[in-house]
Chains A and B, each alone.
Chain A
């Protein structure tokens, strides 16, 4: 490794140091070097030893947690396509073909997201002479996973640029932002190009010259639930990309859990998401308070709708309601973003609960589009500082009260 270090960094470092040719680009160089080698910085004040964890490790572990969703998303993109044209419809058929088909659709989105996002991050770091923050390692993976696989790449690029600049850099970079950057990207697309982000035509890839099977609608389960005729039980009328009904609630639930249904790339498989959740919870990187309260909030709202039962969307079984759409993905990867979430422990409970609660509420009431998790989390991102303010104020009041008792 000494060799590598000499070759890659020790030789060219003087060019970037003060007085060197590329002095201006020092921060970009530093990001590269610290990426390859944990720097030899030693503690210079305060505690002489420090925990092994740093932001690179933290962010990297979140990326690891996203890998199951990414891989499944690739396969599922292929699977949905082949299902829609009526070839290799069995789950185990053409595993490699489906994965390759999906990879060709998904990886360009991932690459565009990273190239555009990191490009802006490096540019801003150089311009403002601050260090490149690792936060984008995660955002760059989250953005493609919440997009439909059919999204044109240039749109993904525009959305990423918007998210990084307006969602993050104008506030001062990672740690200072108010909204979750990945959700900002999705919200931007949703409002800027609604036809590419909703409806029935965006979820399943189409190739020219390939005809879809009879009964094909391209609808997501949420859209089916939204449009289900009054009085029907959603679980037993839901159907897959080829238009074949699942038959029973249990079958629908199972398909939603494993994730072979249409939807955004990373959101369909509850199973893959839960693997990620296990990694985040076990390493202590994701907040269990937020995840748990988010789940409880979602369950509470869908149970209330069940009891109310004004239409068939409200009557969807609570568990099925949570398995569909982006509820779990939002719960595990979006709501838990420590920067945009509430920061106090009490605040996290409140924040998570209402994000889940409003998520389902908006999903069912939204007249334009049957999903609301993104909106609910963004709304709670905005509310989080207010929640924290009251939690901290309660602490201050306790202290004041104590002081009063002592003097009385």
Chain B
């Protein structure tokens, strides 16, 4: 049965710099990078060395524990540098692209089973687009998921509008859904925003269970949707795929050409003309923001404000990200800042005056607005987490490394992004997402 769910708990943070519905091409970047750190828990095994020539779709490294899951170059060119961090961990593999792009070719005819789909996706580097819950990691191709979930909208502040991004990509999107369907015995769930008419790309989708979710963020988070449609129990595995990735998989399966181009939003209060751009996975930030942002001390984030990575101007677009957000850094002390009325600050509580101006769009900076403290205020997390879960108890179980309790309190059902709003709202400035990630790692290690 399709479900129409009304989410009540959550919050929309109204920010300046929402991307306008205009699409353009970003300048072709002078450098690309594929970052093993984008794929949580991956141990990469390099196949090519610095200086090697690659074609788009050609393997650069693979998963050390499953050599079939390949991570490939998004563009053709020369591997210019392998950037390593502490303990020689690989952080980035940089590629200087060719002028003329060359593509690997894959045979996509005669795909009739899930195994066929898996094989071609793993070989071409599209497989990591499929993620698994619990643990929010790249899906294990050896498993068969209970169901596959696709969210057709992003409710995060300054998130990309998939109705616009995927407009006109009906066939590729449908092809992607069909491919997903082959890989599960259960359903493929597509959840659109309730109370509005989704773009044709979603409304015409067939062979899937269509659900609607209305209400504030995190209604668009696939984790919240899973919780309300078909919650994850112990032992269950479900897969999730970002809507644009569904289209990219479909596009690849239609042509056999490993095309990693995607549309991203460039947004935030420091962006001169927030809008959409077409670029390629792993593009350098330089190409995306050059001349686009205001002067000053800015934080350049690959991904959205609540979950993205601060990559800086010399960084690269993350594999899973379809937003680049630029906001001012907040590294100026403020005199008696906790005491003054602060009309420019936003709070979900009414302790500041932001509740007087419900339609004002805020330009928030990265100041933490306070110091780290022990848990004091209660009820904050619950009011922005629309799940039947006690987040503070779960976090405390993680802090004390009590695996059984973590399991009982529902760690299988959550990913860091689902609790991002809790982190935003926290009076004690607790690093919620880091703690949860630690717990997920621990649970995965102990429970598998």
Q: Are A58 and B427 in touch, CB under 8 angstroms?
A: yes
In-complex Cβ contact of A48 among B310, B352, B370, B375 (8 A):
B310
Q: Which of A40-56 contact B (CB under 8 A)?
A: 40-43, 45-56
How long is the Cα–Cα vector from A40 to B233 in the complex, in angstroms?
Answer: 43
Tell me the complex Cα distance, A39–B420, Å: 23
Instruction: Say whether A48 contacts B426, CB under 8 Å.
Output: no
Please name all residues of chain B whose beta carbon is closer than 8 Å to the beta carbon of A39 when the two chains form the complex: 333, 371
Contact with B along A47-70 (1 / 0, CB 8 A): 111111111111011000000000
| B244 interfacial contact with A, CB 8 Å | no
* Chain B contacts for A407, CB-based, 8 A: 233, 235
List, in ascending order, chain B residues with CB within 8 A of A176's CB. Answer: 374
Say whether B322 faces chain A, with CB atoms less than 8 Å apart: no
**Main SS of the interface on chain B?**
loop
In chain B, positions 327-351 with a C-beta closer than 8 Å to chain A are 327, 329-339, 342, 345-351
- Determine whether A403 belongs to the interface, using a CB cutoff of 8 Å to chain B: yes
A128 to B331 CA separation, bound complex (whole angstroms): 28
Q: Which residues of A contact B335 (CB under 8 A)?
A: 1, 4-5, 36-37
B378 interfacial contact with A, CB 8 Å: yes
**Is A92 in the interface zone, CB < 8 Å from B?**
no
Residue of A nearest to B234 (CB): A403
Least Cβ–Cβ distance between A373 and chain B, in angstroms: 21
What CA separation (Å) do A55 and B374 show in the bound complex?
A: 10
Q: Does B301 contact A (CB under 8 A)?
A: yes
Stretch at the interface among A74-82, A253-261, A314-322, A391-399: A391-399
B113 is an interface residue with CB less than 8 A from chain A:
no
Binds A, one of B58-66, B88-96, B116-124, B389-397: B389-397
> Within residues 155 to 206 of chain B, which ones have a CB less than 8 A from any CB in chain A?
157
- By beta carbon, the residue of chain B nearest A135 is B376
Give the CA-CA distance A407 to B331 in the complex, in Å. 52
CB-contact partner of A49 in B352, B364, B382, under 8 A: B364
* CB of B423 within 8 Å of the partner chain: yes
Specify which chain B residues have a CB less than 8 angstroms from the CB of A38 in the assembled complex: 333-334, 336-338, 367, 369-370
Give the CA-CA distance A40 to B330 in the complex, in Å: 7
Min C-beta distance of A38 to chain B, whole Å: 3
Known contacts A133-B373, A343-B392, A392-B393; is-contact A46 B420 (Cβ 8 Å) = yes
- Give the complex CA separation of A386 and B416 in angstroms: 29
Which residues of A are found within 8 Å of B409, using beta-carbon distances? 392, 395-396
Residues of A within 8 A of B368 (CB): 41-43, 50
Contact yes or no, B334 A395, CB < 8 A: no
Interface hits, B284-307 → A, CB 8 Å = 299, 301, 305-307
> Is the interface on chain A under 10, 10 to 19, 20 to 34, or 35 or more residues?
35 or more
B-chain residues with CB within 8 Å of residue A282 when the two chains form the complex: 350
B interface residue count range (under 10 / 10 to 19 / 20 to 34 / 35 or more) = 35 or more
**How far, in whole Å, are A4 and B336 apart by their CA atoms in the complex?**
12
What 0/1 pattern do residues 260 to 292 of A give for CB contact below 8 A with B?
000000000000000000000011110100000
Number of A-B contacts (CB under 8 A): 209
Q: Which residues of B contact A (CB under 8 A)?
A: 13, 157, 231, 233-236, 299, 301, 305-308, 310, 325, 327, 329-339, 342, 345-352, 354, 364-379, 382, 388-390, 392-393, 408-410, 416, 420-421, 423-429, 431-434
B333 and A46 contacting across the interface, CB-CB below 8 Å: no
Q: Whole-angstrom distance from the CB of B351 to the nearest CB of chain A?
A: 5
B373 touches A403 (CB 8 A): no
Contact A55 to B369, CB < 8 A, known contacts A46-B420, A46-B433, A47-B306: no
- Alpha-carbon distance between A178 and B218 when the two chains are bound, in angstroms: 33
Q: Determine how close the nearest CB of chain A comes to the CB of B50; give it in whole angstroms.
A: 31
CB atoms of A50 and B393 under 8 A apart? no
Q: Which residues of B contact A57 (CB under 8 A)?
A: 338-339, 351-352, 370
Q: In whole angstroms, how far apart are the Cα atoms of A96 and B293 in the complex?
A: 60
Known pairs A46-B431, A46-B432, A285-B349; A399 contacts B410 (CB<8 A): yes
Complex alpha-carbon distance, A165 and B234, angstroms: 44
Chain A residues, Cβ within 8 Å of B334: 37-38
Q: Does A175 contact B (CB under 8 A)?
A: yes
Q: Kindly state the separation between the CA atoms of A142 and B427 in the bound complex, as whole angstroms.
A: 22
CB distance from B307 to the nearest CB of A (A): 7
B378, A403: Cβ atoms under 8 Å? Answer: no
- Which of B306, B325, B330, B374 is the one whose CB lies under 8 Å from A133? B374
Closest to B325 in A: A48
Q: Smallest CB–CB gap between A85 and chain B, Å? A: 41
A131 at the interface (CB under 8 A from B): yes
Q: Which residues of B contact A135 (CB under 8 A)?
A: 376
- A208 CB, nearest partner CB in chain B, Å: 43
Q: Among the interface residues A51, A287, A348, which one has the most CB atoms of the partner chain B within 10 A?
A: A51
State whether B369 touches A52 (Cβ < 8 A): yes
Contact present for B427 and A54 (CB under 8 Å): yes
A174–B376 CB distance below 8 A: yes
* Bound-state Cα–Cα, A343 to B389, Å: 13
